Every structure is written in C-alpha cells, then in structure tokens.
Structure 1
C-alpha cells in the first residue's frame, strides 16, 4: 500500500485543453498551428516568386512543420503559463 502511494504521488493531470466540454491534448493544437504556419510560409514564398528556396519540399515542409510545432508548444504551453 505504501509503495503504491509513493509512486502515485508524482502523477498529475494530463496536459489538455478543454474545448466545448471535450479535452484535447495540447500538442494537437501545436501541430495544427505548425501546419497553418507552414501553409502561410508556402503561400508567401510562392507569391513572391521565391518558392524554389525550399529546395526538396518533401524534406523541408515536414521539417518546418516540426520546427513550428515545437516552437508553438514551447511558447504557448511551457513559457507563457509560467509568466
């Protein structure tokens, strides 16, 4: 009994965001934001004629999605709540 109490004291609530009564994990919103940011970057570079800067799109766009998603997650769910 004592061992189970000690191991369960470190557990906390799941990092989730409530939207209209349903709870979604916070990383889901970060990924959606990362995809939207990559779409905006793609549109801006295509309209300016610099779309060829991102040479192999099959590698660059997923990498940018990961970069933007991690940045949004770190800023939105880790840095801002502590301020």
Structure 2
C-alpha cells in the first residue's frame, strides 16, 4: 500500500489537541482525504475514496479549517521552512 502524506512528514509528532462536542477523529486521515480530493481533481466530495472516512465529515473539516485560517497558517509554515 502506498505511503500517505503523514507517514513522510508527521512521523514522531504529537497529534493536535482540539476539543469539540465529540471526538474529532484522526486529523491525518482527514488531511489525507482532503489532499486526495485536491490531488486527483475529484469533481465532487462524494467521489472521494471511502478509506478516508465519511465524505461529509472530511468536507466539513476542510471548510472549517479554511474558515479558521488553518490552510493559510500551514502554507506560511511551509514557506518559512524553505
């Protein structure tokens, strides 16, 4: 099986602690689902592979992260590392 994004970059790091009304699940799994949709150019979230979890959960988290500026912070961190 092909290694996922987090296997390359997040090995040995602590998971983010975010508290919501119920357990948030695996952030790496959701991130891989989001990157899969962006990388493959899936025309709809419902075309996302089911191994990444429920498509609506991945989409809601993608949208929430966009609203909270997580993507901007991630990209800025990557720019700062180079």
**TM-score under structure 1 normalisation?**
0.26
Higher helix share: 1
Higher strand share: 1
Larger RCO: Structure 1 or Structure 2 (Cα < 8 Å, ≥ 6 residues apart)?
A: 1
**TM-score under structure 2 normalisation?**
0.27
Larger Rg: 1
